[in-house]
Amino acid sequence: MKMHACVFLAIALAGLAGCTKVSTSTGLGPSGAHSWTQPGVLRISDISDPSTLNPMLTGADIAYQLSGYVLEYFVRLDDKGELVPVLITQVPTLENGGISKDGLTVTYHLRHGVTWSDGQPFGAQDVIETWKQVMNPDNPVEIREGYDVVGSIDAPDRYTVVVHLKRPYAPFPTRFFAGIQEGPVAPLPAHIIAGAKDLVRSPLNNKPVGTGPFMLQSWEKNGQMVFVANMHYWGGAPKIKKIIFQARTDNTEIVNFQTHELDADIDATTNDLPSFRQLKDMNVVVTPSLRLSVLSMFTQSGPLHDVRLRRAIAYSLDRAELLQRISHGAGYLAAEFLPNWSWAFTNDVPRYDHDLTRAKALLDEAGWKTGQDGYRYKDGQRLSLLFLSIAGSDSSKHFAELTQQYLRAAGIDITIKNYPYGLIFDVSGPIRQGKFNLVSYSYSVNYDPAALKDDGCDQFSPAGSNDSRLCDPEVDRQERRALIISARAERKTIYADIERRRMEDIAVIPMWFRDRVGVLSVDVHGYKPSRSIMANWNMTEWSVP
């Protein structure tokens, strides 16, 4: 785990993981909160609006975070990284009988007393109809892995779901309707989606009906998004009565923290950590997560089809310096694509420590020679690459600019192009459509080490998340083999080989595992961020007096 020098808040946020900054200001009202705090109201921000609030149809984390106030899942992760059942009474295992001995039948017992926000009861048919829509080819679903292994689903009664798998699938309980990693799918109401041709134009995308502790009251595009408490929530009404979200650029966000127009960003950029720590009356919370920062390279066509160029780029980058300059040390360098606390982690992989001499030698070997202007040329063509960056994000901007400098030293010309956050990760956006050479982003790796969606030969975007579009048949074969094996020791050996091959191919450079940074007013209590892709697992316990 990561260690940070910090001051722990011993009163209002007692027990909170990570680092916090304690204010010594005065001016508290009768409730014990500051005069600028609106009782029962939480004002939050991030860098962009989502394009949809249906997580099934997007790859944007902000859509996952915001829809997570309304929609719920079978399982989530808590602040310790442990599985927590939400819409089910227990996580199925071999030991508790939820998974059959042959691994082909998984039984879920749904929680009683759960209703949709429109008053209709939640039940097994909602699960079945949502699964049908996930598998509907007319829906541009981000990730179908874990759903495509389902042969059929039975509902013996309203509260029992029996899933019949086509083949054993070891990660199933942490993938099927799980709000843990990329591509989460939340159950949707059958009384609205049953029989629908697709969900592309569904009203649920802009006005979700969920089972969660909040309901979406209004959404003004490029303006405010307002959530109100679901007073009939099965887990009890949340302590916060209203959440107001509005997108802000990094600089605007800091100003709004200073003027107390904003209470929190629960997934803030690490780029601004020094500025966050100087804010008065704010707590900075730094905790572990599954978030991996990467540099992805498009390999299907263009110069990066050559592995020598990809390795040259990896050697050109000083990842340690980038971690300090971009994330201010909030994380640790990634040895491979799994966190160092994963049971499948291996350190026995190729490494790409900063070595500009080696990078230049690889470029020479690949036939890219240095011209008089210092850039590399081959057959009269300059080695020029397009780097995609996220508009409005200082960390994305700085990463792109620093990478541009590193690669310029090796003779590679980089053009940076900015896209809005809500578009760059969309199914129709430039990443999923393969209109790039280089792009940096972070994503939550799987709780289970299986990563077929990231490296499978049939998982090229937009069908899956293999954005680099590299196909290694042996990696694909080993990924599929590990999915049908239940013995952890055997799976660990397989994943060690997969990680070695992925690091040899280096279509994606794992940069560092990033800590989650939350910035919250000292008047916000009860925040304990999950280690999963969505921080807000215990939102019913948050309070603003």
Pick the CATH number of 1-47+213-288+516-545 from 3.30.70.1060, 3.40.190.10, 3.80.10.10, 3.40.1010.20: 3.40.190.10
Model pLDDT, residue 20: 45
Q: Is 228 strand, coil or helix?
A: strand
pLDDT of res. 487: 82
Residue 461 to residue 299: CA distance in whole angstroms = 12
Which sequence spans correspond to the domains of the chain? 1-47+213-288+516-545, 56-205, 291-514
Q: Rounded to an integer, what distance in angstroms lies between the CA atom of residue 210 and that of residue 115?
A: 8
Question: What is the overall mean pLDDT for the chain?
Answer: 92
78: how many CB neighbours lie within 10 A of its CB? 15
* Predicted pLDDT of residue 83: 94
CA gap 474, 442 in Å, rounded: 26
- The pLDDT tens digits for 159-200 are 999 999 999 999 999 999 999 998 999 999 999 999 999 999
**Phi and psi (nearest 5°) for 356?**
-65, -35
Q: In the prediction, which pLDDT does 251 show?
A: 87
Q: Supply the pLDDT for residue 28.
A: 62
- Which three-class secondary structure state does DSSP give residue 308? helix
Amino acid identity of residue 12, one-letter, is A
Q: Which residues of 126-164 are buried (b: 16+ CB within 10 A; e: fewer)?
A: bbbbbbbbbeeeebbbbbbbbbebbeebebeeebebebe
Q: Are strands 438-444 and 384-390 parallel, antiparallel or unpaired?
A: parallel
**DSSP of 107-172, one letter per residue?**
EEEBPTT-B-TTSPBP-HHHHHHHHHHHS-TTS--S--TTTTTEEEEEEEETTEEEEEESS--TTG
Tokens read off for 13: 């946020």
Q: Would you identify the CATH topology of the domain 291-514? A: Dipeptide-binding Protein; domain 3 (3.10.105)
Low-confidence spans in the chain with pLDDT less than 70? 1-31
Class of the CATH domain delimited by 56-205? alpha beta
Helix axes 250-258, 394-409, angle to 10 degrees: 140
How far out from the chain centre does Cα 217 lie?
25
Query: Distance between CA 177 and CA 518 in Å, rounded?
Result: 26
pLDDT, position 18: 53
Strands annotated E in 367-474: 369-370, 376-378, 381-382, 384-390, 413-419, 438-444
